Amino acid sequence: MTTDRTLADTSRSPRGVTRDRREPPGFSPCLTAVVIDAEEAARTVLVHTLEAAGYATDACAEGAEGVETVLATSPDLVTVDLNLPGMDGVEVIRRIRAAGATPHVAVISASQDEADKVLGFTAGADDYITKPFRIREFRARIDAVTRRLTRAPRETHPA
């Protein structure tokens, strides 16, 4: 994985919070992701991994900003931590789904509690990964999502 990244676009969210949209050098984005995590180290690892998988990414540290970014950019994939300042991850997922957005949502949380996992899925999550997570496993999950997103629809033939 290369550590040399270029800043493709710095813009402001509707609330005036600066967010970075990063694209790997020489990359033509076709898939997009939003990473919502309060921990800077976790955001960095997730962004690097998603970029290596071919995603253009936005990264947010707060729940409300994450919801705004998701609704403004309509990403293919969203990762969200449950423990966020202001608005927790479960509420983030609920608001994304209530607005009709349909990205693949993966919770990435330190909580291994079954109740939190069930709550995440009930709110609308598609996947739940516990921290600390293994990069290769996360990448394999992202690759599986990417295959589903880029798979051409099957043709239907009359019987």
pLDDT digits (tens, 9 = 90+) for 82-109: 999 999 999 999 999 999 999 999 999 9
Find, among 81, 89, 74, the residue nearest to 123 by Cα.
Answer: 89
Find, among 105, 27, 22, the residue nearest to 57 by Cα.
Answer: 22
pTM above 0.85, yes or no: no
**Length of the chain (residues):** 159
Provide mean pLDDT across the span 122-143: 93
6-147: CATH superfamily: Response regulator (3.40.50.2300)
Q: Which pLDDT belongs to residue 158?
A: 53
Instruction: Output 12 or 69, whichever has higher pLDDT.
Output: 69
pLDDT in tens, 4-50: 333 334 343 444 443 445 544 444 458 999 999 999 999 999 999 99
Q: Which pLDDT belongs to residue 150?
A: 82
Here the tokens at position 46 are 């997730």
Q: Which pLDDT belongs to residue 148?
A: 86
The model's confidence at residue 1, banded by pLDDT at 50, 70 and 90, is very low
Find, among 60, 53, 74, 56, the residue nearest to 17 by Cα.
Answer: 60
